[in-house]
Amino acid sequence: MLTILFDGVAYGMLLFVLACGLSVTLGLMNFVNLAHGAFAMAGGYITLVLVNRAGLPFFAGLAIAFLVTALIGALFERTLYVHVYNKNHLDQVLFTIGLVFMSIAAVDYVMGSQQVFIRIPDALQGRFELFGIGIGRYRLLIIVVCGLLTVALQLILSGTRFGSRLRASVDDARVARGLGINVNGVFALTFAFGSGLAGLGGALGAEILGLDPTFPLKYMVYFLIVVTVGGSSSIIGPFLAALLIGIADVAGKYYVPKFGAFVIYTIMIVLLIIRPQGLFARAAGR
Amino acid sequence: MQPAAVEKVDRYLAGRARWGALEYVFWLLALASIWHGYFHLPERYLILTEIAWLGLFALSLDLILGYAGIISLGHAAFFGLGSYVAALLAKHGIINEPVLALVVAGLAAAVLGFATSFLVLRGSDLARLMVTLGIALIMREIANQIPEVTGGADGLQGVTIAPILGTFAFDIFGHVAYTYCLIVLFVLFLLARRIVHSPFGLSLRAVKGNPLRSSLVGIAVDRRLVAIYTVAAFYAGVAGALLAQTTAFASLDVFSFERSADLLLVLIIGGTGYLYGGLIGAVAFKLIQDSLATFDPQYWQYWIGLLLVFLVLFGRIYGAIIAALIFAVARWLQLSFFECALIMLAIGLGYGHIQKGLKLLDGAIARLVGHARSATPMLAHRKP
Amino acid sequence: MAAVLETAALEKHFGGIAAVNGVSLAVEKGARHALIGPNGAGKTTVINLLTGVLRPSAGRILLEGRDITVLEPHKRVGLGLTRTFQINQLFLDLTPVETVGLAISERMGTGAQWWRLVGSRSPVTEEIVEILGRFHLTDVMFERTGNLPYGKQRLLEIALAIACRPQVLLLDEPAAGVPEAERHDILATVAALPADVTVVLIEHDMDLVFSFADRISVLVNGTLLTEGAPDEVARDPRVKAVYLGESLNA
């Protein structure tokens, strides 16, 4: 049972890294970016090409995936997304769905539609036993990496000037602008960083989540659930939400395989009924 | 009392609901298409049938999106339920007559709509997106998990549809199927038209525009929303049933996200809030999809995505034109997806300039139209 | 005279802040009752509590002796309590005819009918014409509300509340934001409201308050400072101190 918990935690932390960029985007600009999963997919395939075909070491592949995806995010944000901020939510949804369709078709064309696997180093394969818990080496890596990232994010958010600018902008963009904070600049940087994290998550998660051109649509729901349940005004909210979703999903699929998939959908709907603004969001807000 | 003023207001209100000339033209064309000779190629009936039930499906979403302001990413839940119910009723011989099965399927979807309507009353746009998406995914998962009933991933096989009203058997050209769909669409359209021009419909428009004020003039907002959501679910269920009955098949993709997303595309092309948006959009979408599929059968989704992006960026008309231009240029110069994406980014970069140019174009066109109007006084506007 | 609208120790807390703290009001039938106070005193919060837009943290609200503290907003309208908003809350895409007609048919109980066409019932149409005429909106009655000048929108805001035939009408700064040229229309309309309708008025314009009200309550920092006839309140030194610098005399 503890193994399930361990796997669930790994899954949840991965979901967090994948989804936290989306959460900040929503909280900061009230922008629904359904194409977030496309950046994750991009990161995954970039690492695939670098590691499997160009023979780069795994960790280098991860780092480059982060950077390249962040750059792609910045590029798209400055040229396209910026024109859609003022539009209503429906338009934003349609716009990002359009990008998703384009990305799926493009990746399908270039890489083929079959599921692909990134070659992970031998040291990370297999599992070992610790106090009766089956610890998968790769999953352990995920927990470590994602844990470090979470800590780093929290430190940046609370300890740096950029972090306080970001928090101010999320809290009230108009007032923040009035204080001289370059909200658009903050957002561009955050969007890029969030996309980079998504790319990293996509690369890290390829082994567990499976990587194929339909990735953005398959996992879009999970990201959205994390963001909706966790709220978009902090790091802790989505983090706990992601853990909850991860553990519930893994446990659900193990203990009640027939209904495993329902578990998270039902949790989401129930939570949204009880607290429409998300489980961990502030009571007041936009 | 001022009888003259009262009469004026009466005439104004009656005029809002009066059938316009264009409406008559639209339906005359549609009903005329049933006639054999109108379309020389018999295989056109298949795509016309698709347009018919897709139009009904889009109409159902317009009722909640355009008239009540509820964003839904999971309208396929009702469509799919209607589809499976109709298919199962036929397969197991529970209800053999298609029209009756159609109504039952619609009612099943309406029940689901009623049950889930309470979830979309509250919450932000995002919460509504999530909840509706979640419901559609749950429905899909349910269908997936009971393959002994639904046929699972392979779909429901062995469905045979009895003749309509015991008399009109489905033919291989799809002629009967199309007529059937079109008549159902027309009848339900008339009903919807009545609803939106009723006091109830007016209150929906008020709720969409200002829900706070609506409750403070005595409108029981939640009850109205539940009512229209249930009606919309019924319509969607009927549309799904039409699909099942005209193809004698039902599969998991009736619940798919792509179906809900395509529906939004239909409405963005056709426009919302005036009932014809779903119908016009369905025609446009099917034609676009059909022609894209001929050019690029495997990756036509890319162009749909591109179209969506530009429709949002530049509006319905210019967005479609620009997307079409890029498509044409890409085919002519044999550009790759990557290069098209670069063009898209470049257009994004020059967005401000392009918008300014389009505004100038708009102004020029308006002036031209103004000149044309004043030159032909017979075409001058009538006062309402 | 019986109080048609009263509150008992009404409270509303937002986090740690008490926006409304122990307000007990009694408004008599047919009264012209003004609620004044500096900005941020909680006047609009009181209106929001009375109409059900906000739920009180404590206290009770009674309409004609009936406890409506937790009653839904639309039901309070049915019992005869309506309001206007400080910033217009109108249906921008509807015309004045449709807006007023909407309120009338809701009041008559025919608002949910889906099988009839709008306008096929002439008592409603007659009343639409009558109300729009009373509020000087006849010349713009077929225009889209969003296109109307602000003064006309403000008149429509009040007309909409009146169309519900309220027993008690809460006016939240009816003259706010209205250009000088159009204020007269608003003021005259407020003065011409039927005598059997009880009116509670929030206003900053002291001319309007003193020409209109027969009773004034002063709200400061969420509590009632004082209450009484206009000249009593005008003479009260505490009220003058609160409005530091503002002239209270007409």
CATH code where residue C125 lies: 3.40.50.300
Could you count the other beta carbons within 10 Å of the beta carbon of residue C182? 17
C248 domain-assigned: no
Q: Interface partners of A (3+ CB pairs, < 8 Å)? A: B
| DSSP-assigned beta bridge partners for residue B169 | none
The 10s digit of each residue's pLDDT in C199-212 is 999 988 888 888 88
Instruction: Give the chain A residue whose CA is nearest to the CA of B65.
Output: A90
C250 domain-assigned: no
* Residue B383 pLDDT: 40
Q: Interface partners of B (3+ CB pairs, < 8 Å)? A: A, C
Query: A274 vs A165, which has greater pLDDT?
Result: A165
Helix boundaries (H) for B95-210: 98-121, 125-145, 147-150, 175-196, 199-209
C249 domain-assigned: no
Q: Which residue shows structure tokens 């044999």?
A: B334
If interface means Cβ-Cβ distance under 8 Å, which residues of chain B face chain C? 1-2, 5-6, 9-10, 12-14, 16-17, 194-195, 197-203, 205-206, 209-210, 212-221, 223-224, 227, 384
The 10s digit of each residue's pLDDT in B49-105 is 999 999 999 999 999 999 988 989 889 999 999 999 999 999 888 888 899 999 999
Of A63-72, B146-155, B217-226, least confident by mean pLDDT is B146-155
Query: A259 vs B319, which has greater pLDDT?
Result: B319
For residue C142, list chain B residues with Cβ-Cβ distance below 8 A.
Answer: 12, 384
A237 domain-assigned: no
User: What band does B145 get if pLDDT is binned at 50, 70 and 90?
Assistant: confident
Half-sphere exposure of B283 (CA within 13 A, CB side): 9
Q: Report the residue from C77, C83, C115 with minimal CB separation from B194.
A: C115
User: What band does B384 get if pLDDT is binned at 50, 70 and 90?
Assistant: very low
**Percent of chain B at pLDDT above 70?**
95
- Count: domains in chain A: 1
* Residue B216 pLDDT: 93
For residue A259, list chain B residues with Cβ-Cβ distance below 8 A.
Answer: 145
Interface test with B, best of A220, A272, A273, A277 (most B CBs within 10 A): A272
* Residue C248 pLDDT: 47
Tell which residue, A149, A199, A205, A207, has the closest CA to residue A46.
A199
Contacts of A146 (CB under 8 A, 6+ apart): A13, A14, A16, A17, A204
| Enclosing domain of residue A24 | 10-214
Could you count the other beta carbons within 10 Å of the beta carbon of residue C95? 22
The 10s digit of each residue's pLDDT in C22-38 is 899 999 988 999 999 88
Residue window 177-236, chain C: list those with CB within 8 Å of chain B. Answer: none
For residue A285, pLDDT beyond 60: no
A174 domain-assigned: yes
Query: A126 vs B28, which has greater pLDDT?
Result: B28
CB contact under 8 A, B215 and C133: no
Interface test with B, best of C102, C138, C165 (most B CBs within 10 A): C102
Mean pLDDT across C157-179: 90
User: What band does B149 get if pLDDT is binned at 50, 70 and 90?
Assistant: confident
Torsion angles phi and psi, residue B249, rounded to 5: -160, 150
Using an 8 Å Cβ cutoff, are B320 and B311 in contact? yes
The 10s digit of each residue's pLDDT in C53-96 is 999 999 999 999 899 999 999 999 999 999 999 999 999 999 99
Lookup: tokens for A98: 């359009």
Of A25-29, B153-157, C218-222, least confident by mean pLDDT is A25-29
Could you count the other beta carbons within 10 Å of the beta carbon of residue A177? 14
For residue B257, list chain A residues with Cβ-Cβ distance below 8 A.
Answer: 217, 220
For residue B169, pLDDT beyond 90: no
Amino acid at B125: D
Q: Distance between CA atoms of B292 and B234, rounded to whole angstroms?
A: 31
User: What band does A16 get if pLDDT is binned at 50, 70 and 90?
Assistant: very high
C61 domain-assigned: yes
Mean pLDDT, rounded, of chain B: 88
Nearest CA of chain B to the CA of C3: how many Å?
Answer: 22
Q: Report the residue from A78, A95, A266 with minimal CB separation from B312.
A: A95
* Residue C250 pLDDT: 41
| DSSP-assigned beta bridge partners for residue C170 | C83, C200
Torsion angles phi and psi, residue C54, rounded to 5: -120, 150
Q: Distance between CA atoms of A246 and A234, rounded to whole angstroms?
A: 19
For residue A272, pLDDT beyond 80: no
Mean pLDDT across B156-185: 86
For residue A93, list chain B residues with Cβ-Cβ distance below 8 A.
Answer: 71, 73, 129, 264
* Residue B191 pLDDT: 96
* Residue B378 pLDDT: 58
User: What band does A270 get if pLDDT is binned at 50, 70 and 90?
Assistant: confident
For residue B16, list chain C residues with Cβ-Cβ distance below 8 A.
Answer: 118-119
* Residue A231 pLDDT: 76
- Count: domains in chain C: 1
Q: Report the residue from A76, A92, A225 with minimal CB separation from B130.
A: A225
Q: Distance between CA atoms of B131 and B149, rounded to whole angstroms?
A: 26
User: What band does C51 get if pLDDT is binned at 50, 70 and 90?
Assistant: very high
Element (H, E) at B264: helix B257-270
Lookup: tokens for C186: 């608003």
Q: Measured between CB atoms, does A101 come within 8 Å of chain B?
A: yes
Residue window 10-49, chain A: list those with CB within 8 Å of chain B. Answer: 26, 32
Mean pLDDT across C175-190: 80
For residue B382, pLDDT beyond 50: no
CB contact under 8 A, B71 and A93: yes
Mean pLDDT, rounded, of chain C: 88
Tell which residue, C96, C82, C179, has the closest CA to residue C134.
C96
For residue B185, pLDDT beyond 70: yes
Q: Interface partners of C (3+ CB pairs, < 8 Å)? A: B
* Residue B195 pLDDT: 94
Burial zone of B334 (CB within 10 Å; 0-12 exposed, 13-18 middle, 19+ buried): exposed
CA dihedral in degrees (C10, C13, C16, C21; nearest 10)? -20
* Residue C79 pLDDT: 93
The 10s digit of each residue's pLDDT in A192-251 is 999 999 999 999 988 888 899 999 988 888 888 888 878 777 788 889 889 988 998 888
For residue A170, pLDDT beyond 90: no
Q: Measured between CB atoms, does B209 come within 8 Å of chain A?
A: no
**Percent of chain B at pLDDT above 90?**
46
Nearest CA of chain C to the CA of B259: how many Å?
Answer: 30
Residue window 184-243, chain A: list those with CB within 8 Å of chain B. Answer: 217, 220-221, 224-225, 227-228
C54 domain-assigned: yes
Mean pLDDT, rounded, of chain A: 85
Q: Distance between CA atoms of B258 and B65, rounded to whole angstroms?
A: 18
Q: Which residue shows structure tokens 């009392």?
A: B1
Mean pLDDT across B182-186: 95
Q: Distance between CA atoms of A46 and A57, rounded to whole angstroms?
A: 13
Tell which residue, B181, B190, B189, B186, has the closest CA to residue B99.
B181
| Enclosing domain of residue C130 | 3-242
C199 domain-assigned: yes
* Residue A86 pLDDT: 84
For residue C246, pLDDT beyond 70: no
Q: Distance between CA atoms of A220 and A225, rounded to whole angstroms?
A: 9
Tell which residue, A144, A150, A190, A148, has the closest CA to residue A166.
A190
Q: Measured between alpha carbons, how far is residue B63 from residues A93, B70, B213, C241 in Å?
A: 19, 9, 21, 56
Tell which residue, B114, B120, B119, has the closest CA to residue B81.
B114
Interface predicted TM-score of the whole assembly (ipTM), two decimals: 0.89
Q: Measured between CB atoms, does C44 come within 8 Å of chain B?
A: no
Q: Distance between CA atoms of C228 and C250, rounded to whole angstroms?
A: 17
Of A163-167, C181-185, C233-237, least confident by mean pLDDT is C181-185
Nearest CA of chain A to the CA of B302: how many Å?
Answer: 4
A236 domain-assigned: no
Q: Measured between CB atoms, does C50 come within 8 Å of chain B?
A: no
CB contact under 8 A, B127 and A259: no
What are the strands, taking DSSP E only, across C64-210? Answer: 66-67, 81-83, 168-172, 198-202
Could you count the other beta carbons within 10 Å of the beta carbon of residue A258? 10
Cα Rg of chain A, angstroms: 18
Q: Distance between CA atoms of B32 and A281, rounded to whole angstroms?
A: 56
Q: Distance between CA atoms of B228 and B200, rounded to whole angstroms?
A: 9
User: What band does A180 get if pLDDT is binned at 50, 70 and 90?
Assistant: confident
User: What band does B380 get if pLDDT is binned at 50, 70 and 90?
Assistant: very low
